Amino acid sequence: MAGLGSSNYWEDLRKQARQLENELDLKLVSFSKLCTSYSSSRDGRRGDTSDTTPLLNNSTQDRMFETMSVEIEQLLAKLTAVNDKMAEYTNTPGTASLNAALMHTLQRHRDILQDYTHEFHKTKGNFLAIREREDLLGSVRKDIETYKSGSGVNNRRTELFLKEHEHLRNSDRLMDDTISIAMATKENMTSQRSILKSIQSRVNTLANRFPAINSLIQRINLRKRRDSLILGSVIGVCTILLLLYAFH
């Protein structure tokens, strides 16, 4: 009966070990997929300038990573405890005849535990390395965007300065054109004045050469002056008569 009870105890330990190993196998597959999807999603979003959605996704994946890491570590600890109990059982009295078979089974479970532990730490290390690298790249990209944003402000200021400079240059050209037009007008008037002086000089020359013409011109001027005086006198007298008539 003692041997039967010991055999049942051993079988219970083996069942526990196999159950934990199956759970660990499923957890490690999911854990590996999580790490792979994390890397792929980060690579796919490198060219995306939007920050809100990636941050939410990465935060969710980080929480899942932490949760699954704790669960796998707990399963590994339980499997280690079961293996230790199995090792203790192989040293109990009455199991000498079965010791070789028990040790072979125990060694197989230990190898599985070692493989799962190695796979877990390897996957976890890869995940942490990817996350650290992506966080560093994210920080660098943020610094670049900040620099570009600052450069954009400086570029706008430079553009405004250039526009203002161009406006001043246009104003200078307009003033130069205005001055040029004024100088041309001045030269034209000076030329016309010279022409008029030349005409007047020729008229005086003709008058001096032909006294009769000069005398005729003087008489015409005197008649015009006389006519002007007569016309002015008539207008004055008429105005006075109108005023007298208006007041009376």
Single-letter amino acid code for the residue at 157: R
Burial class (CB in 10 A: 0-12, 13-18, 19+), 42: buried
* Count of beta carbons in the 10 Å neighbourhood of residue 97: 9
Whose CA is closest to 200, among 211, 208, 210? 208
**Residue 123 burial (C-beta neighbours within 10 Å; 0-12, 13-18, 19+):** buried
For the chain, which residues score pLDDT lower than 50?
Answer: 1-4, 47, 49-56
Decide: pTM greater than 0.75: no
Neighbours of 106 (CB within 10 A): 20
Say whether 228 sits in a helix, a strand or coil: helix
Top-level class of domain 2-40+56-138: mainly alpha
User: Domain limits of the chain?
Assistant: 2-40+56-138
Q: How far apart are CA 56 and CA 68, in angstroms?
A: 18
| Digit-coded pLDDT (tens) for 175-215 | 777 777 777 777 777 777 777 777 767 766 766 666 666 67
